Amino acid sequence: MTTLSNIKLFDGTRFRDETSISIHDGIITELGNTTTGIDMGGKMLSPGLIDLHMHGQMGEESMRPGGVVRIAFTQLMFGVTSFCPASVTDSDENTRIFLENVRQAMISPKGARVLGAYLEGPYLDHDLRGVHDERYIKDPSVSHYIELVDGYEDIIARVTLAPEKNGGMELVQYLADQGITVSIGHSAANAEETMDAIRHGVNTTTHTFNAMYPLHHRQPGVLAVALTHPDISAEFIADMIHIDPLTVKLIYLAKGVEKCFYCTDSMEAAGMPDGDYQLGPSTISVENG
């Protein structure tokens, strides 16, 4: 048994100073305040972080062959013990390479745990596509989705789409029936379309406030529904650059701790010096960090 003492422990709700934990066979067996064992010098200890939306980091990206396996190793450097690697909108061939990357990482015994594949696209709104390559954006289609993920159906954890597009509601319903998390994002849906999508199975947003129209007092859309509907969670990017800290507070107050979660939405440039980096088929230049 190993005992770690003099730690600042976050137990999920609060910080506990001068705490100790005992570990046996990889399992935490005791929580106390003993001063024996390995003195951690007051360092913080918390449960492993879970990142449900990331594309890469440290020079690796999820779309590159073998990329997800390598990302799983670097995730541990940042305290992430479980994550959901995301694709970007690309050719069907490259998307299937991504799915194979995820498959290989899920069976790898090393690194952070891979929870499944997250398809961000290709069923997005053209005007709100963000960095996603418009050449590969498609209307939602159950038949296309079935062909795209053939052989990888069991590893799909989440799909982001614009449900207001032709065929969108049918695909939402199909995905929800498969037990897949369906996220509304890169979407121009109005309030009625958004609520209809929730009825069909959408249960979360993709990076709330980003790649969606801003709040309008007479024309509410995805954002207004996301902040007020009790059956949908709100994802947001927590770098305090994509959205202001006051906006983070707004999401938290509107949704409550059980209905909001943050992600990194990181790409291969994360943790790297200035330069040019890839995000799927797109080149992203980083200057001044």
Per-residue pLDDT reduced to its tens digit, 113-167: 999 999 999 999 999 999 999 999 999 999 999 999 999 999 999 999 999 999 9
Q: Note the pLDDT tens digit of each residue in 199-221.
A: 999 999 999 999 999 999 999 99
177 is catalytic: no
Catalytic residue among 11, 265, 274, 276: 265
**pLDDT of the residue at 34:** 85
Tens digit of pLDDT for each residue in 152-166?
Answer: 999 999 999 999 999
Q: What's the pTM?
A: 0.91
> 49-271 domain in CATH 3.90.79.10?
no
Q: Could you tell me the residue ranges of all domains in the chain?
A: 2-42, 49-271
**pLDDT reported for residue 92:** 98
> Who contacts 246 (Cβ-Cβ below 8 Å, separation ≥6)?
none
Model confidence pLDDT, tens digit, residues 167-176: 999 999 999 9
For 256: left if phi > 0, alpha if psi spans -120 to 50, otherwise beta; the answer is left
